[in-house]
Structure 1
Amino acid sequence: MKNFKNQMNVGYLLVIFGIVNILYFLICCIVFNRFVNFSEIFIILGTAYVILGIFKVKLHKNKLNKLARRFLRVLKVFICIICVSFIFIEGCIFVNANIDYHKKPDYIMILGAGISGKNMLLVQLHRTEEGLKYIKKNPGIKVIVSGGQGSGEDISEAEAMRIYLVQHGVNNGNIIKEEKSKNTIENMKYTSEILRKIDGRKNIRLAIVTSNFHVFRAKFLAKRCGFQTESISSPVNYLLLPNYCVREYFGIIKSFIFDR
């Protein structure tokens, strides 16, 4: 009887958790007055949790048959694996989220994050602003702005960052543009190609300027491309942080397996 009640409670908790996910999606859309990229995962997860919770409650009310018990056991194992991996990866994200540079780097590298027309989106603007703060403290540092041109973008992300930096007093001669990349591993690969042509040194020390949630993935992909890495992290809107962290969970798994 006690186990029956526990199972029922788990079902109700799943329903509540699902509703929270759906509400988060709706709040993001209302606050930012638009559909937030990747936030659809919360409506999908929320709906799945609600259905699973209702399914679990109904099954236990009508007593579980043998097949249903096996299905729930497999589902529990799968959910446990997801939860453990999620906690571990999110821990890595948060441990690496703060600014972490101890030695003056050879170059700083600002990663693009999207523009609309010629205007930087908020995440990319925050990264560029954080890079500018470092440049002003270390005048003369060479800066790599990295990001190609995507759909809905009139210029490359790298060019948008270059324009902003020059407008704020950075010497154009100290800016190196990487304009081919479409994702983080390409940021690193194409930057590595550029630096091989202009700088013959090995183990170049690179300070990567990116959003706090993205630092961990950017650093381990940079290391795969032969860089010694440090980080300069930029903040993001706290309301959007859950969205970015969930997206980054999937991004890290994908990058760890496929991005070589």
Structure 2
Amino acid sequence: MKNLKNHKGIGYFLVAFGIINILYFISCFIVFSRFVNFSEFFVMLGIACVILGIYKIRFHENNFNEVVKKFLTVLKVFISIIVISFIFVEGCILVSANESHNKKPDYITILGGGISGRNMLLVQLQRTQEALKYIKQNPGIKVIASGGQGRGEDISEAEAMRIYLVQHGVKNEDIIKEEKSKNTLENMKYTREILKKIDGRENIQLAVVTSNFHVFRAKFLAKRYGFQVEGVPAPVNYLLLPNYCVREYFGVVKSFIFDR
């Protein structure tokens, strides 16, 4: 009887968790008046949890045949591995998102976050604004604006950042544009290529300005290209933080395995 109550308790928890995910998706849509990138994951997760929770409430595993029981056991192990790795990665993301930066680097690079037409999207604007604060604390430092031109973008992300920085007092000659990259790996790859041409030193000290949730991945990819790196975290909208952090988990796993 106690086992049955525990079984149903898990079911109710899954239903509640699923509803929370669905409400989060709806909240993002209402606040931003559009489907936020990756937010569909939460509505799909929510629906899956609600369905699984209802099954947990209505059926007990003792009623299933051996094949189904074995499948459920394998599924539980798989989910456990995902949960453990998720907690570990999110812990790394959280630590990096709150790190302080004390050393004066050789260069600072700002990672692009998307533009519409010629206007920076909020994520890229927040990164550029955070970089501007850093530049004012380290006058004369060389800045690498890193980001190519994608669909719906009239100019490169690097050019959009250059325009903003110059308008806010940064000297144009202090800005180096990297305009080929489409993702974080390419940000680091092409930045390294540029610096090899203008600075032959090894172990260049690089400060990477990016969104707080993205610092961890940006840093370990920068290290793969030989940089001595520290992160400069830029804030993001609090409502979007769960969306970004969950999406970043998959980005970290993908980058750790495939990005070389």
Q: TM-score, normalised by structure 1?
A: 0.97
Tell me, in whole angstroms, the C-alpha distance in 2 between the residues paired with 1:24 and 1:162.
Answer: 35
Question: Which range moved further: 237-246 or 12-21?
Answer: 12-21
Question: Is residue 225 of structure 2 the alignment partner of residue 225 of structure 1?
Answer: yes
Kindly state the Cα deviation for residue 16 of structure 1 after the two structures are TM-superposed: 1.1
Which residue of the partner structure matches residue 63 of structure 2? 63
Question: Which range moved further: 72-81 or 218-227?
Answer: 72-81
Tell me, in whole angstroms, the C-alpha distance in 1 between the residues paired with 2:122 and 2:245.
Answer: 17
**What letter corresponds to residue 86 of structure 1 in structure 2?**
F
Give the aligned CA root-mean-square deviation in angstroms. Answer: 1.2
Which residue of the partner structure matches residue 30 of structure 2? 30
Length, aligned pairs only: 260
Note if contact 1:17-1:46 (Cα within 8 Å) is conserved in structure 2: yes
Kindly state the Cα deviation for residue 63 of structure 1 after the two structures are TM-superposed: 2.6
Which residue of the partner structure matches residue 4 of structure 1? 4
Note if contact 2:109-2:144 (Cα within 8 Å) is conserved in structure 1: yes
Tell me, in whole angstroms, the C-alpha distance in 2 between the residues paired with 1:166 and 1:143.
Answer: 11
Tell me, in whole angstroms, the C-alpha distance in 2 between the residues paired with 1:47 and 1:69.
Answer: 22
Which residue of the partner structure matches residue 54 of structure 1? 54
Which residue of the partner structure matches residue 19 of structure 2? 19
Q: Percent identity?
A: 75
Note if contact 2:61-2:69 (Cα within 8 Å) is conserved in structure 1: no
- Matched residue SS, 1:51: helix
Which residue of the partner structure matches residue 101 of structure 1? 101
Which residue of the partner structure matches residue 81 of structure 1? 81
Question: Is residue 125 of structure 2 the alignment partner of residue 128 of structure 1?
Answer: no
Structure 1: any 5+ residue segments left out of the alignment?
none
Tell me, in whole angstroms, the C-alpha distance in 2 between the residues paired with 1:15 and 1:98.
Answer: 33
- Matched residue SS, 1:236: coil
Kindly state the Cα deviation for residue 119 of structure 1 after the two structures are TM-superposed: 0.3
Note if contact 2:145-2:175 (Cα within 8 Å) is conserved in structure 1: yes
Note if contact 2:109-2:145 (Cα within 8 Å) is conserved in structure 1: yes
1:54-96 deviation per Cα after TM superposition (whole angstroms, max 9, x unaligned): 2222321883332332222112111111110010000000011
Which residue of the partner structure matches residue 183 of structure 1? 183
Which residue of the partner structure matches residue 146 of structure 2? 146
1:182-220 deviation per Cα after TM superposition (whole angstroms, max 9, x unaligned): 000000000000000000110000000000000000000
1:152-175 deviation per Cα after TM superposition (whole angstroms, max 9, x unaligned): 100000000000000001000000
C-alpha change, 1:252 and 1:47, in structure 2 (3 Å) is same
Which residue of the partner structure matches residue 199 of structure 1? 199
Which residue of the partner structure matches residue 235 of structure 1? 235
Note if contact 2:111-2:210 (Cα within 8 Å) is conserved in structure 1: yes
Note if contact 1:158-1:178 (Cα within 8 Å) is conserved in structure 2: yes
- Matched residue SS, 1:136: helix
Which residue of the partner structure matches residue 119 of structure 2? 119
